[in-house]
Structure 1
Amino acid sequence: MIHTVRGQIDPNELGVCSAHEHLCIDLSRIKKDPDTILDDIGGMEEELRYFKASGGQAMVEVTNDGMGRNATLLRKLSETTGVHLIASTGFYKDPFLPDQATKWGRDQFAQHMIDEIKNGIDGTDVYPGVIGEIGSSHYEIKPIEEELLTGAGIAAMETGFPLTTHTTLGTMGVEQVELYSALGLPMNQLIVGHQDLNQDDERVLAVVEAGAFVGFDTIGKINYRPDADRIKTICLLIERGYGAQILLSADLTRKSHWHKHGGIGYDYILNEFIPRLKETGVSDEDIRMMLIDNPAQAFSRKGST
């Protein structure tokens, strides 16, 4: 089953899913930029309606503790728009951890996530469906991040929940896989994020060869990498037989990403990117796999110990 903010659903009911997004977020404490605050509830509803009108049915909302998470609002948005939303438990990365967690060890991180999975988010009756996004820094895993990543892995193994990560500019994906392999986390529970920002295809291949899912989840952010390059890597993974491990999304985190402020919106993948994939020769079957089948597999709860 898959746990959404409105309760559990069968994986087959998830539908077309954007696998790594933010609707309500506030990164301004660290970034000092009001553009990194999404707090316009009417705007959230409007953007979700664009997404739904384009065929979107589900979204994994990976805003967690310290990033401006609002679980009660997510449930309201899901009820208002009819889009399935999956909420997250966990923490992001240094320096975005809330003050109370900056000195925690792996066991404290794990217990916090397990408590939210069992008892609800922030004292509410809204339950998370994923652990994430759990992050590492640019070309390094800092000591506090190693504790966080490990704690998230412990929580994932105990609960059977999927674990989705952040890799800064695509770096450290292989190292995350190595950490979780050593811990004993089944690779089909792991989604290594932002691998569309990793321009080293061999390292992306190493992640999928290990058995993990990969997030091509900054699609449309051409200031980081042209979408044409993302398409080339997706085609390579499909050709090598790893299409069943690819997840798609746009990872919108700024006001300027929304339609109402001139941005691409959450429907960009469905309206712009998917047609380009088809023009490149990617089959309808492979597109369905990436949009529907893969999320259903990735975000299903696995057998827990």
Structure 2
Amino acid sequence: MNRPAPRTLRTVTGELPAGSVHGPVLAHEHLALDLDRRGDGAAVLHPEVHAAAVTAELATLREESGLALVVELTCRGMGRDADTLARISRESGVAVVAATGWYYEPFHTPEIDAGDVEQLTAVLVHEIEDGVDGTGIRPGVLGEIGSHGDVPTASEAKVLRAGARAALATGLSVATHAQLGRGGLAQLDLLTGEGLPAHRVGIGHQDLLDDPGVHRELAARGAYVAFDTVGKSSYQDDRTRLRLLLALVEAGHADRALLSCDISRHGYLLDEGGQGYGHLFRSFLPRLRAEGADDDLVDLLTRRNPLRFLTGASEEDH
């Protein structure tokens, strides 16, 4: 049975009416994770080592920029820690939405090979309804469900289908990881092929794909287009990100864009000399304003769009 989309946000500290969120939202971040595959500890935000710095950054952004909500897309196999997310949220005063799902294939857990789509769907629905890892903390989004390449592998396709079915069963939306921006259209085909409406899908890392035509097609089909690695200069220059975002806006799809920084290594934190979670507000949005963006457009991009995505609201609801 398909469940309607929620009108409230499910955060790590409880239900939050979407209408009470008056400040900006970071649509794709990580506050605690472990993606270390090389043994160098770089792709880590350790709950004991880095949580204090993460908390301090969010608290400062709440004061400086009104940051109201972070969508935390660390899922199964990525070192997710729901208790740490709740602690960071309480101490920073910033609401946090946790996630469930599976990342792209190199990070798949053994249950994916062992289970079929139905069994994997049941795993996700159980977490959404009963909470993560015995904490009672319930995810408020499915993500970042991943693939790499232009077409998902068989294992990735299985996970995407399970994510879509779990979304339909629970009313949540799905945020994806499209490695280096590739494969977004194929992801959308799989998700909508399971019956999930496109407006409940956010296709990730599109700011790493210099192809405005793909962005327009995703948006025209109703999906959200995530420009969510803002500030990661080793992957893409922000000038390119800005050009791609402006092209989507000028094509009439401002209501389909999501913005964030995807902080996924402790070296990105401010206290380690990185750009931090605030790069979007301190650097990128001022450049967007310099290109003519007004307060209404910035509010659309940073607040109304992510809230509409999270609640699964269609255009008819607004």
Task: Tell me if 1:9 matches 2:16.
Answer: yes
Cα distance between partner residues in 2 of 1:163 and 1:188: 10
The Cα shift of 1:104 comes to 2.4
Aligned-partner residue type, residue 195 of structure 2: G
Picking from 18, 43, 48, the partner of 2:58 is: 48
Deviation at 1:43, TM superposition (A): 1.8
- Contact 2:112–2:159 (Cα < 8 Å) also in 1: no
Distance 1:119 1:61 in 2: 18
> Which position in structure 2 is the counterpart of 1:249?
260
Does structure 1 conserve the Cα–Cα contact (< 8 Å) formed by 2:175 and 2:202?
yes
For the residues of structure 1 that align with 2:167 and 2:267, how far apart are their CA atoms? 34
Question: 2:105: which partner in 1?
Answer: 94
Q: Distance in 2 between matches of 1:290 and 1:257?
A: 23
Instruction: From 293, 300, 318, give the equivalent of 1:282.
Output: 293
Name the CA distance, whole Å, in 2 between partners of 1:113 and 1:68: 16
Gaps of at least 5 residues in structure 1 are none
User: Which secondary structure does the structure 1 equivalent of 2:172 belong to?
Assistant: coil
Matches within 5 A, 1:134-149: 134-149=145-160
Residues 1:34 and 2:41 aligned together: yes
Question: Offset at 1:302?
Answer: 5.8
Aligned equivalents of 1:167 and 1:103: distance in 2?
24
Partner of 1:20: 28
Q: What does residue 3 of structure 2 align with?
A: none
What CA distance in whole angstroms lies between the structure 2 residues aligned with 1:53 and 1:302? 29
Following superposition, the deviation at residue 138 of structure 1 comes to: 2.6
Unaligned runs of 5+ in 2: 1-7
Alpha carbons 1:93, 1:145 under 8 Å: kept: yes
CA offsets, 1:130-181, max 9 Å, x none?
Answer: 0010000133311100000000000011111011000000000011111122
Structure 2 residue 261 is matched with structure 1 residue 261: no
What letter matches 1:12 in structure 2? Answer: G
Which amino acid in structure 1 is aligned with residue 51 of structure 2?
Answer: I
| RMSD between superposed Cα atoms in Å | 1.4
The 2-side partners of 1:235 and 1:37 are apart by 32
User: C-alpha separation between the residues in 2 aligned to 1:265 and 1:53?
Assistant: 15
**CA 1:163/1:169 → structure 2, altered by over 3 Å: closer, same or farther?**
same
For residues 1-305 of structure 1, what are the structure 2 equivalents within 5 Å?
Answer: 1-14=8-21, 15-28=23-36, 30-39=37-46, 40-55=50-65, 56-301=67-312
Moved more, 91-100 or 195-204: 91-100
How far 1:301 sits from its partner (Å)? 5.0
Distance in 2 between residues matched to 1:234 and 1:280, nearest whole Å:
11
Question: Residue 203 of structure 2 contacts residue 224 of structure 2 at CA under 8 Å; is this kept in 1?
Answer: yes
Structure 1 range deviating more: 277-286 or 167-176: 277-286
Instruction: Name the SS of the counterpart of 2:164 in structure 1.
Output: helix
